[in-house]
Amino acid sequence: MPNNSSIRIRLQRFGAPHKPFYRIVAAPRKAPRDGKFLEILGTYNPIPDINGNKQVQLKLDSIKRWMMHGAQPSDRVAKILANGEILPPVPRRYLLKDPALLMEPPAAVEEVDADSDADADSSDAESEAAEGDGSAADAEAKSPT
């Protein structure tokens, strides 16, 4: 077995032009995309079926075994494994580029809460006033005088 730090879990393309189909394989890091591989770990069909589902078949025990031995998944394979809840979700790249998008400043959150409380108080007062007007009109309508 080769040095496991040099192993990648990645996609190997098959299929016709404009109709891709991929194998998920464990391959040496320096091997070509469609070249030699060590083991087939699953398949991935990115073209959705009639219901809009993309077909993925995984050999979970083999994937876990390779990852325990130090194999690193490619970005796309990591996303596929995250969708299958095998790995934790992969952070989105645009969030990594702009750290301001990762966390909102606490002051902005408090201002939003204060504004929503003020709106709620004013709407409560308006609803009480409307109820008061309606009950007085109802009382006048009910009295026969």
Does 38 score more than 80 pLDDT?
yes
**pLDDT tens per residue, range 52-83:** 888 999 999 999 999 998 999 998 999 989 88
The pLDDT, as a whole number, for residue 88 is 81
What's the CATH code, domain 4-92? Answer: 3.30.1320.10
Domain ranges for the chain, please list them. 4-92, 101-140
The residue length of the chain stands at 145
Does 110 score more than 60 pLDDT?
no
Mean per-residue pLDDT over the chain, rounded:
76
Ordered alpha helix ranges (H), the chain: 60-68, 75-83, 93-97, 106-142
